[in-house]
Amino acid sequence: MTNRSTAHASVDLEAVRTHYRLALLVRSFHTLWTSVADIPVLVAEIDRSRALLDLTSGQYADLVAAARATLAAHGDGEDDPLWYLRDELAAHGRLPDDASPQYLALTWALRRAGGVR
């Protein structure tokens, strides 16, 4: 469940730069007004980027906490130390299918290392 489009700017930054450069060079009412009209769009883009960064930072912190809990559970000899990591990945729709090559390779490696029974 990836939405890669939200990570890209929704503003044509090259157009904004062009408006700004024209306003500096020509200094007419039209070029200045066109450049000033870009300000609300840029502020909205900053707000959107900040919200996306906050969301990403929170998800990263949750994933780090799950990884640490997994390591601690493994150190404590819990039966299923990967539960914490699987739970966090599942919460964000990032858990691979049981039949996916990534999942099978991870399970095989962990069993070989004695981490999964």
Q: What pTM did the predictor assign?
A: 0.64
Whether residue 22 has pLDDT greater than 80: yes
30-35, long-range: CB < 8 A, 24+ apart? none
Q: What is the mean pLDDT of residues 82-93?
A: 88
Domain count within the chain: 1
Structure tokens belonging to residue 54: 């906050």
Instruction: Confirm whether 103 is domain-assigned.
Output: yes
Range of the domain at 87: 11-113
Q: What is the mean pLDDT of residues 67-91?
A: 92
Q: What is the pLDDT of residue 2?
A: 43
Instruction: Confirm whether 5 is domain-assigned.
Output: no
Whether residue 117 has pLDDT greater than 60: no
Whether residue 85 has pLDDT greater than 70: yes
Instruction: Confirm whether 34 is domain-assigned.
Output: yes
What pLDDT digit, counting tens, does each position of 34-74 carry? 999 999 999 999 999 999 999 999 999 999 999 999 999 99
Structure tokens belonging to residue 105: 């390779």
Using pLDDT thresholds of 50, 70 and 90, give the confidence band for residue 101.
Answer: confident
Instruction: Confirm whether 6 is domain-assigned.
Output: no
Instruction: Confirm whether 1 is domain-assigned.
Output: no
